Amino acid sequence: MKILVADKISPKGVAYLRQQPGFEVVEAYGSSPEQVLELVKDVHAIAVRSETKITKEVLAAAPLLKVVGRAGVGVDNVDVDAATERGVVVMNTPTGNTIATAELTFTHILCGARPVAQAAASMQAGRWDRKTLSGVELYQKTLGVVGMGRIGGEVAKRAQAFGMKVVAYDPYLAPARAKAMNVEACTLDELLAQADYITVHMPLTDDTKYMIDEAALAKCKKGIRLFNCARGGIIKEAALIEGLKSGHVAAAGLDVFEDEPLAKDSPLRSMPNVVLTPHLGASTAEAQESVGIEVAEQIADLLNSGAVRNAVNMPSMDAATAKVLGPYLDLGQKLGTLVQQVAPKQIASLRVTYYGKVIDLDANSITRSIQFGFLKRIAGEDVNLVNAPSAFQRYGVQFEVVKSSNACDYTELVKVEATCPNGEVFSAEGTFTGKTNEPRIVGINGREVEVAAEGKLLVLENVDQPGMVGLIGTLLGKDKVNIADMSLSRLTPGGTAYMVVRVDHEPSAAAREEIKNNPAIKQAKFVQL
């Protein structure tokens, strides 16, 4: 089998591939897009970093291709949807840069406390600015870690070694896990108020974009120090700049930016109390060697035995099975993400129950799609269909699968239930209906509904009184939001009712606020499937 190493990875990774019996390895670094199209005609695997683009055209030109391996985390240079459609597994290497990024983060924290970079520049300029370059100590200070995944956890360990108190905000981190890591779990507002230093380690999602903005900074102590080696956009740069100018923010360290490369005229470049690095999180010899070896091992495992690790699209399966399971995987992912969006951020357990014909299928693959759907807005590109189970363990969430023989109202049904620490349950149910076997959402939080399992949904719980449908329709119409379909449900007249509205696009923030503030609306959630 032929493996194309399209971008330069660790020589040890290339050597590992060459050692495999029956493998032919072609190194073609710096190839043009036209050359890549020619090179892939007879390859079974491609290894890339970020330079080579694996487009729909490249995939179409590679009829033997089984796997694309990315030596790194992000797969922006790979058309994952097109790869999935062609049955090509796309894998990344999410763990290889953990230590490198954690160490760079702590380097920034140290430079935020002691102006080492500024002192070095001063010395190189021929000055001796000893009096103007004093700093502060980390010892007995409080570090706020926003996001306690792999990297956040490693930063916390290093802070504790320096005698710092660590408080952590991660809405998906179970209390038992926080205790085991010797960190104090708290709300974001509590972290902002307590911390002397703040470092962010969240994926960039709709929920985390501008998480640290003007309002958040106003809740921080005067003299707060901020650090971001995760993703640009979690800290709002405009707010940070104003905070630095006013003195409310004492120092900052950034390795990532809202737009990269950072503009030459960015005010951040001229601020004396800021240390900037050009996205160097994974730029260590060890990290690059690690991801190079890891991607080589993953490619070899798949080609030799069919084993798949760190796939970002789906587990390996034959074409016949994929044809049967494809609709269930899609429905499962949507049920998972629906429950995640209607439930509170911290849950204790997730339970999946299968009814009817679906219990005879490969429920493991469907279960993974549910886990992936639940986690994809939380963990971003770090989670995939293969590592979703271990991600649940990392967050301390219990997981249960039940194949039920009990009768239900459908030929087959998948039910996903999230239970909160206080015992409250949030759920979604899905099935296939009609001659075209269309996926449908048929239950939300114990209420019978029926709406297509696609697009954007407004999930509303309201007082059961006349005029509610008209009210919501009028508000959405005023906001230029078109309604695709609607489902209504109530238990008893005059009690509470459910309204699920599928819309063509997301209502504006003002419209959502108006809906939530209406006294007849008890709960309103906007869900993107």
CATH code, domain carrying 527: 3.30.70.260
Percent of the chain with pLDDT over 70: 97
Whether 20 is covered by a domain: the verdict is yes
Cα–Cα distance measured from residue 499 to residue 463, given in angstroms and rounded to the nearest whole number: 11
- Are residues 462 and 350 both part of a single domain? no
Spatial separation of the C-alpha atoms in residues 208 and 227, rounded to whole Å: 15
**CATH number of the domain where residue 253 is located:** 3.40.50.720
Question: Which residues partner with 417 through β-bridges?
Answer: 351, 427
- 418 and 523 inside one domain: no
367 and 497 belong to one structural domain:
no
C-alpha to C-alpha distance for 238 and 243, rounded to whole angstroms: 9
Q: What are phi and psi of 349, to 5 degrees?
A: -155, 160
- Residues 305, 321: one domain? no
Give the containing element (helix H, strand E) for 100.
helix 98-113
**Is the backbone of residue 147 left (phi > 0), alpha (psi -120 to 50) or beta?**
left
CA angle (260 as vertex; 259, 262 as ends), nearest 5: 85
| Tokens, residue 378 | 């939380």
Whether 225 maps to a domain, the answer reads yes
CA–CA gap between residue 144 and residue 200 (Å, rounded): 8
Tokens 């309604």, residue located: 483
Domain assignment of residue 231, yes or no: yes
Do 498 and 374 share a structural domain? no
Using CB atoms within 10 Å of the CB of residue 494, give its burial: 0 to 12 exposed, 13 to 18 middle, 19+ buried: exposed
Would you name the residues annotated as active-site residues?
Answer: 231, 260, 279
pLDDT tens, position by position, 476-519: 999 999 998 888 888 788 788 888 999 998 898 898 888 888 98
105 and 253 belong to one structural domain: yes
In a domain, 469, yes or no: yes
* Last residue within a domain, chosen from 430, 452, 474: 452
| Residue 524 to residue 529: CA distance in whole angstroms | 16
Determine contact, residues 158/102, Cβ cutoff 8 Å. Answer: yes
| Of the residues 222, 247, 276, the one at which a domain ends | 276
Q: Are residues 265 and 117 in the same domain?
A: yes
- 34 and 71 share a domain? yes
Same domain? 88 vs 108: no
Rounded-to-integer distance, Cα 272 and Cα 140, Å: 26
Which of the listed residues 276, 298, 332 is the one where a domain comes to its end? 276
- Is 33 within the bounds of a domain? yes
- pLDDT at position 197, please? 98
> Within this chain, do residues 66 and 135 fall inside the same structural domain, yes or no?
no
Q: Strand (E) positions, 195-348? A: 197-200, 224-228, 249-254, 274-276
User: Based on the structure, what is the number of domains in the chain?
Assistant: 4
Most distant CA atoms of the chain, gap in Å: 83
**Whether residue 33 has a cis bond before it, omega within 30° of 0:** no
What CA–CA distance (Å, rounded) separates 52 from 55? 9
Specify whether 66 is located in the same domain as 151. Answer: no
Q: What is the pLDDT of residue 317?
A: 58
The parent domain of residue 77 ranges over 2-94+286-313
The verdict on residue 159 lying in a domain is: yes
> How do residues 374-395 score in pLDDT, each as one tens digit?
998 887 766 777 677 777 777 8
Q: Are 366 and 439 in contact (CB under 8 A)?
A: no
Q: Is the predicted pLDDT of residue 314 greater than 80, yes or no? A: no
Asked whether the whole model's pTM tops 0.85, one would answer no
Is residue 281 assigned to a domain? no
Show the tokens assigned to 308.
Answer: 């798949």
pLDDT tens digits for 135-152? 999 999 999 999 998 899
Helix (H, G, I), strand (E, B) or coil at 89: strand
> Which of residues 97 and 255 earns the better pLDDT score?
255
Convert the pLDDT of each residue in 211-243 to its tens digit.
Answer: 999 999 999 999 999 999 999 999 999 999 999
User: CA 475, CA 473: separation in Å to the nearest integer?
Assistant: 6
Q: Is residue 367 part of a domain?
A: yes
d(CA 179, CA 378): 21
- CATH at 373: 3.30.1330.90
Shared domain check, 408 and 350: yes
What DSSP string describes 411-445?
SEEEEEEEE-TTS-EEEEEEEEETTTTEEEEEEET
**Model confidence over 323-334: pLDDT tens digits?**
778 888 899 999
